[in-house]
Chain A
Amino acid sequence: DTEVTQTPKHLVMGMTNKKSLKCEQHMGHRAMYWYKQKAKKPPELMFVYSYEKLSINESVPSRFSPECPNSSLLNLHLHALQPEDSALYLCASSPLGKGTEAFFGQGTRLTVV
């Protein structure tokens, strides 16, 4: 199974809502990532988890809160978002190591209204 599964596929939320994005992989990868991607732009790294611990936070606003409950799951909790946060949110996983391939989920298309 070389799949990274993200749910939901689409999400519309108001600026006062709280929602969560979920990501799951069963490849035994110990590195998991959240990226944000705007249209016609590259994926922009947000967070990296290594061995279920947050190892990189790319100065992401606190209205985005990541969580890694176990080695297969990665969540992104959203609260008080702004319309400019509307984007495709991609989850990825990879084995730890320098040249390893990252596997991406299909993403959650988020619209903040």
Chain B
Amino acid sequence: GQSLEQPSEVTAVEGAIVQINCTYQTSGFYGLSWYQQHDGGAPTFLSYNALDGLEETGRFSSFLSRSDSYGYLLLQELQMKDSASYFCAVRTGGGNKLTFGTGTQLKVEL
């Protein structure tokens, strides 16, 4: 089976930096993605890591360590609009199976 574990909830203040961790156990691992979902909305893609290291996209960065089966999403200069649920996700099954982690609800406060 597969499992992807995340903290259930993280709270931070506007302007701060927050890190959301993801540990996974899976077979046939191709890479780790991150998705954001606002209440009542659709998940939207944020980033993808296939290799070890850091990927930066604007205020968001994502890190992967394949040897540790671990990744994280780093959000900088937090804004109120970043309050949402964040999911890590893995592609397996030849790349066509996308499985989501348990999800982290981020609350950004003033």
The answer, yes or no, to whether B48 is at the interface (CB within 8 Å) is: yes
Q: How far is the CA of A97 from the CA of B50 in the complex (A)?
A: 12
From B33, B42, B97, contact of A104 by CB (8 A): B42
When the two chains form their complex, are residues B91 and A56 in contact, meaning their CB atoms are under 8 A apart?
no
B74-110 toward A: CB 8 Å interface, digit per residue (1/0)?
A: 0000000000000100010101111111110100000
Q: How far is the CA of A102 from the CA of B103 in the complex (A)?
A: 17
> Which residues from 94 to 113 on chain A have a C-beta closer than 8 Å to any C-beta of chain B?
94, 96-107
Q: How far is the CA of A41 from the CA of B4 in the complex (A)?
A: 13
* Number of residues on chain A facing chain B (CB within 8 A): 28
The answer, yes or no, to whether A50 is at the interface (CB within 8 Å) is: yes
> Are A96 and B95 CB-contacts (below 8 A) given A102-B45, A106-B41, A106-B42?
yes
From B45, B87, B99, B103, contact of A101 by CB (8 A): B45
Q: Chain B interface (Cβ within 8 Å of chain A)? A: 30-31, 33, 35, 41-45, 48, 50, 87, 91, 93, 95-103, 105
Q: Chain A interface (Cβ within 8 Å of chain B)? A: 4, 31, 33, 40-45, 48, 50, 55-56, 90, 92, 94, 96-107
